[in-house]
């Protein structure tokens, strides 16, 4: 069982990821693994969005989505709901935004909407 | 003695200083130009070598796409294994010559290949769903696109577009 510890840097990082994803400044991509999305950062790091917590240690994982930062193959941090101050709902909202950005859902919806309006 | 002769005799020290300054400035100018030219030549050789590596990657990525389409997933896994480390090799080998944007492209390509490798490894023991095959194809296309775009960047540099990279 993880220890709940407040980590203001992680909270700030998640807030920045949320803002930059919302403004479309982060180029999230879907991977070949269903539900896992990735974005490179600063030519050095990669941030992965997982659909659940403990995704890597258990076959399907459990709990709300989580975000993991890597430098090469080394994991730098695992941002999960287990960190105090990281709300489960916030992680769910961020993951959903990432998913929509990576799969270009809003663009496709706009495309469908414009066609529907012209019917 | 002529007036010019007198002037030269009285000011030879000053004139020599001015001449020295002009010669130093010219030497500095030519040294700088030679250094810029040498740097350009070095970068051009590096870009050519990089383009060769990338070209090999484009061919492998194309082969993987064909193998996935033909359902030869074990062979695709083997080729994916061959290609897996190339993006990181390129990124680290030319670290000081790549822009952050290019490094990000290579990082993303590595992640795509890594995820493809995991899915293809799974296919050895169980059949992949249509959804998984589609995701594999999409990732493969993403990798090919990265290789092709970065090849274009390297080629542009070789052809003389040095300023575009920096």
pLDDT of the residue at A71: 95
User: Cβ-count burial of B28 within 10 angstroms (0-12 exposed, 13-18 middle, 19+ buried)?
Assistant: exposed
pLDDT of the residue at B1: 66
CB B139 within 8 A of CB B92: no
Taking residues B138-143, report their average pLDDT.
95
Q: How far apart are CA A112 and CA A119, in angstroms?
A: 11
The number of folded domains in chain A is 1
Q: How far apart are CA A76 and CA A10, in angstroms?
A: 11
Å between A42 CA and nearest CA of chain B: 6
A2: DSSP letter? P
Q: Using 50, 70 and 90 to split pLDDT, how confident is the model at B165?
A: very low
Residue B109 burial (CB count, 10 A): 28
Q: Is the pLDDT of residue B4 over 90?
A: no
Q: Using 50, 70 and 90 to split pLDDT, how confident is the model at A5?
A: low
Q: Is the pLDDT of residue A101 over 90?
A: yes
Which chain A residues touch B143 with a CB distance below 8 Å?
Answer: none
Q: What is the pTM of this model?
A: 0.79
Q: For chain A, which residues lie within 8 Å of any Cβ of chain B, measuring from their own Cβ?
A: 27, 29-34, 36, 38-46, 48, 72
Å between B136 CA and nearest CA of chain A: 5
pLDDT of the residue at A17: 96
Is A3 inside a domain boundary? no
In A2-87, alpha helices (H): 8-22
For residue A83, give its domain range: 8-117
pLDDT > 90: percent of chain B: 60
Is A47 inside a domain boundary? yes
A48: DSSP letter? E
Domains of chain B are 45-165 (1.20.120.340)
In chain A, alpha helices (H): 8-22, 88-102, 105-117
Å between A4 CA and nearest CA of chain B: 30
Is A46 inside a domain boundary? yes
pLDDT of the residue at B11: 85
CB B46 within 8 A of CB B100: no
CB B104 within 8 A of CB A25: no
pLDDT of the residue at B156: 83
* Range among A9-13, B1-5, B13-17, B117-121 with highest mean pLDDT value: B117-121
Q: How far apart are CA B97 and CA B86, in angstroms?
A: 16
Nearest to B135 among A30, A41, A72 (CB): A30
Taking residues A65-87, report their average pLDDT.
92
Contact A27 B104 (CB under 8 A): yes
Q: Which residues, listed in sequence order, are joined to residue B154 by a DSSP beta bridge?
A: none
pLDDT digits (tens, 9 = 90+) for B59-109: 999 999 999 999 999 999 999 999 999 999 999 988 888 999 999 999 999
Is A1 inside a domain boundary? no
Q: How far apart are CA A115 and CA B78, in angstroms?
A: 44
pLDDT of the residue at B164: 45
Q: Is the pLDDT of residue A1 over 60?
A: no
Is A37 inside a domain boundary? yes
Q: Using 50, 70 and 90 to split pLDDT, how confident is the model at B37?
A: confident
Which of B90, B100, B111, B144 to mutate against chain A (most A CBs within 10 Å)?
B111
B/e letters for A63-90, b = 16+ CB within 10 Å, e = fewer, are ebbbbbbbeeeeeeebbbbbbeebeeeb
Q: Using 50, 70 and 90 to split pLDDT, how confident is the model at B163?
A: very low
Q: Which residues, listed in sequence order, are joined to residue A46 by a DSSP beta bridge?
A: A40, A70
- Average pLDDT in chain A: 91
């Amino acid at each position: 069982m993880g220890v709940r510890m407040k980590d203001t840097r992680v909270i700030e990082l998640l807030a920045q990821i949320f803002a930059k994803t919302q403004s479309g400044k982060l180029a999230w991509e879907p991977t070949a693994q269903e539900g896992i999305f990735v974005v490179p950062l600063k030519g050095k790091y990669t941030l992965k969005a997982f659909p659940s917590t403990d995704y890597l240690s258990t076959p399907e994982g459990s709990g709300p989505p989580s975000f993991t930062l890597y430098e090469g193959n080394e994991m730098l941090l695992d941002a999960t709901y287990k960190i105090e101050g990281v709300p489960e709902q916030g992680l769910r909202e961020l993951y959903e935004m990432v998913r929509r950005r990576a799969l270009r859902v809003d663009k496709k919806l706009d495309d469908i909407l414009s066609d529907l309006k012209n019917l | 003695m002529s007036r010019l002769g007198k002037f030269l005799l009285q000011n030879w020290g000053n004139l020599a200083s001015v001449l020295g300054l002009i010669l130093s400035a010219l030497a500095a100018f030519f040294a700088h130009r030679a250094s810029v030219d040498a740097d350009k030549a070095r970068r051009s050789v590096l870009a050519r070598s990089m383009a060769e590596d990338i070209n090999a990657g484009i061919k492998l990525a194309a082969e993987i796409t064909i193998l996935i389409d033909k359902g030869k997933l074990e062979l695709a896994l083997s080729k994916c294994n061959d290609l897996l480390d190339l993006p990181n090799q390129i990124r680290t080998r030319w670290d000081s010559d790549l822009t952050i944007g290019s490094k990000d492209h290579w990082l993303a390509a590595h992640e795509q290949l890594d995820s493809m490798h995991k899915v293809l490894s799974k296919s050895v023991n169980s059949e992949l769903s249509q959804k998984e095959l589609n995701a594999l194809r999409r990732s493969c296309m993403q990798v090919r696109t990265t290789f092709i775009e970065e090849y274009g960047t390297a080629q542009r540099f070789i052809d003389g577009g040095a300023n575009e990279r920096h």
